[in-house]
Structure 1
């Protein structure tokens, strides 16, 4: 009988720790995914480009491994059927990867939603919640002028995805950029 009570107490403790884990979602920003020594995109006047970085942006934040995070960014579909998206790249600014140079891998997250996400347009602002895995992966992105292979530094699988109005730490493209039409209006 005491053994049975111990098992029930252990099961209750485990269920509390699982419930506590879901309450421990870390709201992170794009800067949290790169080394503190890496220059900010705003400091260069342009978004970060992997080729210009000493490590090509391949240094990842291993301290976030398996943490439940929430990160807002812009969704660029990788695998879709009509308006249902089964996998997408989460990027820190509009135009990244298809209209502009690719961000470094430590600024790209490959996201697989828990359920197909209905998306009306590329670069839709979303917030992603799930377990972050530092993991270099390559994805084929089909764009107007052909196929582009994009390397992401992180993955979030079985992610919860919700649309958001704005991305708080987005990068606004410089006024002299030919891609300024991609800037999302901030409220």
Structure 2
């Protein structure tokens, strides 16, 4: 028979292990741009049709009612993309749009809202080059944001930004 003292010791060890395991959050789920489009939805793409001829009709964001994936709301994810800066200074940016291809919202019309994520990062992050892809990690929300550049279908409170690696 086990003594009461030994049983208490086993219970104590089990509790420490349980607390230790729950203290570490699950790693973020790595997602990609197609994961932001609901299954079965045929996405309108304007990237191929984009023109640089200065005609305002070519700079209209398509499909403003593009559906989002509600199951992603509140999830800890990582998503690669390109930065369109919104707020910050010469050292760091604190707010930006994350887009699936270089030049979206600046050199070519914005993609549909379900292909843009409005990102805020509390203390800011240095971005060496807007030409380089990054991976953003944080909590994604199914929430719209709109400014003069584009409307988004998602927002994210970022906790980390890193160079994109294949």
- TM-score normalised by structure 2 residue count: 0.73
Q: Would you say the 8 A contact 1:114–1:160 is kept in 2?
A: no
| TM-align CA RMSD | 3.1
Considering only CA atoms, is the larger Rg found in Structure 1 or Structure 2?
2
CA offset digits 1:108-143 (Å, max 9, x no partner): 1111124321113334311011111111012x4xxx
Partner of 1:16: 21
Q: Which residue is 2:130 aligned to?
A: 122
2:41 to 24, 35, 38: 38
Q: Deviations over 1:72-110 (max 9, x none)?
A: 000111102013111111000111011111111111111
Write out aligned runs for 1:55-94 (5 A).
56-57=65-66, 59-94=67-102
1:97 and 1:150 in contact (8 A); partners too: yes
Q: After the TM superposition, which of the residue ranges 122-131 and 99-108 deviates more from structure 2? A: 122-131
In 1, the alpha carbon distance for the partners of 2:117 and 2:39 equals 18
For residue 115 of structure 1, give the secondary structure of its aligned residue in structure 2: strand
1-structure distance, mates of 2:158, 2:17 = 25
Residues 37, 113 of structure 1: alpha-carbon distance in 2 compared, 3 angstrom cutoff: same
Q: Distance in 2 between matches of 1:7 and 1:132?
A: 37
Stretches of 4+ aligned residues off by more than 6 angstroms:
6-11
2-side partners of 1:77 and 1:124: how far apart? 13
The number of residues matched between the two structures is 151
- Give the Å deviation of 1:9: 6.8
SS in structure 1 of the partner of residue 21 of structure 2: helix
